[in-house]
Amino acid sequence: RTVLGIESSCDETGVAIARVHDDGRTELLSDVVASSMSEHARFGGVVPEIASRAHLEALVPTVRAALAEAGVDRPDAVAATIGPGLSGALLVGSSAAKAYAAAWGTPFYAVNHLVGHVAVAGFDGGPLGECVALLVSGGHTQLLHVRSLTEPVVELGSTVDDAAGEAYDKVARLLGLGYPGGPVIDRLAASGDPAAIPFPRGMTGPRDARHDFSFSGLKTSVARRIEAAERDGSHLEVADVAASFQEAVADVLTMKAVRACTDLGVRTLLIGGGVAANSRLRELAAQRCADAGILLRVPRPRLCTDNGAMVVAVASALLAAGAEPSALTVAADPGLTVEVTQVV
């Protein structure tokens, strides 16, 4: 059976097609992404109205491209992200998916974007078992306990203020590096000294029992450092700030993720979301997981950012488990929480 999945929660219009084999194995046949990111760059962040309009324009061509690349005329099921995300953006993709499902007479699956960031790892390195998932993106920073994709995901902790990707974007703006900040800082950090400035590691003390994160103090500390240099006219090596900031983020994320695995006795750590593309995070996670005897899974960077593959990954798991389809009347939910894999 083949499944078509549509992702439109933020600024990427993603359409992917997968084949679910009888033995439960899922094969990705196509994964096409059209991004409106460049249209948001001059505003320093995603503008919801521009994103919705871009989805509207990109949707049908992207569906056609995905079908053509997969060599599929009519899939056996259609799925879409129903939340969380920008309401207008979600509305475009989920309404289109419902319309395709109605026109083709196929079942429709309304899936959770956050679960998609976890499930997509199944396309890199084989089927997913129980794991702790560190989800780090522009809008989210969470530690999750995943038993299987068809059981409710348990949130172990989340950020109490900024998301990790948001911190990257804000610090890049402070340094005048442009948007999105993650890739620029990542590149610049390579030529800086990660030990140059001892930036604070939020919520890493012994009393922080819950697996929560805080990045606003780090961002403020970077701002203070820049202000101080401007005030006393001293030279500030931007690459050193980038490297030291990146080190602080990677240190906190990996420390807390490994601690969550150890506390729960879970032997697999999965990292997903746009920030999982970060080179230092990947490196430090590999090192600390090896030291703790934990298997680390990080999908290739292309699968970490928003795409249709994450939607078909969830839908394929639901299909393989014989889950009931969603009603065509389900509404997009911008605030959908991670416990809900599928909205019926």
Are the C-beta atoms of 268 and 295 separated by less than 8 Å? yes
Single out the segment in contact with Mg ion by CB under 5 A; choices: 3-11, 72-80, 185-193, 232-240.
3-11
The number of angstroms, rounded, from the C-alpha of 3 to the middle of its chain's C-alpha atoms is: 21
Phi, psi (5° rounding) for residue 60?
Answer: -65, -45
Contacts with 103 (C-beta within 8 Å, 6 or more apart), sequence order: none
Residue 173 Cβ, how far from ligand ATP at the closest point, in Å? 11
The minimum distance between CB 97 and ligand ATP, in angstroms, equals 18
| Pairing mode, strands 268-272 and 131-136 | parallel
Residues that bind Fe ion (CB under 5 A): 137, 306
Closest CA to 311 of 126, 144, 120, 91: 120
Min dist CB 275 to Mg ion, Å, is: 11
Question: Under a CB-based contact definition with an 8 Å cutoff, are residues 17 and 312 in contact?
Answer: yes
C-beta closer to Fe ion: residue 19 or 55: 55
Which of ligand ATP, Fe ion, Mg ion, none interacts with 116 (beta carbon under 5 to 8 A by kind)? none
Classify residue 271 by burial, with Cβ atoms within 10 Å: 0-12, 13-18, 19+: buried
* CA nearest neighbour of 265 among 167, 97, 147: 147
Using the rule CB under 6 A, is 180 a contact of ligand ATP?
A: yes
Q: Which is nearer to Fe ion, 52 or 244 (CB)?
A: 52
Q: Contacting ligand ATP (CB under 6 A), which of 52, 137, 326, 341?
A: 137
Annotation-wise, does 135 bind a ligand? yes
- Strands 12-20 and 268-272, by their bridges, are unpaired
154 CA to centre of own chain: 17
Is 139 marked as a binding-site residue?
yes
Q: Restricting to residues 7-26, which ones interact with Mg ion according to CB under 5 A?
A: 10
116 binds ligand ATP (CB under 6 A): no
CA distance 105 to 80: 16
In 3D space, the residue among 298, 283, 284, 289 whose CA is nearest the CA of residue 266 turns out to be 289
Chosen residue from 5, 165, 308, 325 binding ligand ATP by CB under 6 A: 165
83 is in an annotated binding site: no
User: How many chain residues bind Mg ion (CB under 5 A)?
Assistant: 2
Please check whether residue 299 is in contact with residue 305, taking contact to mean a CB–CB distance below 8 angstroms. Answer: no
Query: Is residue 308 close enough to count as binding ligand ATP by CB under 6 A?
Result: no
- Residue 290's contacts (CB-CB under 8 Å, 6 or more residues apart) are 296
11 carries a ligand binding annotation:
no
Smaller CB distance to Fe ion: residue 128 or 277?
277
Per CB under 6 A, the list member of 122, 157, 182, 192 interacting with ligand ATP is: 182
Residue 94 contact partner, candidates ligand ATP, Mg ion, Fe ion, none, CB within 5 to 8 A by sort of partner: none
CB neighbourhood size of 151 (10 A): 13
- Under the binding rule (CB under 6 A), the answer on residue 35 touching ligand ATP is no
For ligand ATP, which is the closer residue by CB, 19 or 240? 240
Q: Which of residues 263-322 bind Mg ion (CB under 5 A)?
A: 306
Q: How many residues bind ligand ATP (CB under 6 A)?
A: 22
Does 75 help bind ligand ATP (rule: CB under 6 A)?
no
**Core vs surface per residue 292-317: b (16+ CB within 10 A) or e:** eebebbbbeeebbbbbbbbbbbbbbb
Asked whether residue 263 is marked as a ligand-binding residue, the answer is no
User: What is the binding site for ligand ATP (CB under 6 A)?
Assistant: 9-10, 85, 137-140, 165, 168-169, 180-183, 186, 273-275, 277-278, 305-306
Per the annotation, binding residues are 113, 117, 135-139, 169, 182, 186, 278, 306
User: What is the binding site for Mg ion (CB under 5 A)?
Assistant: 10, 306
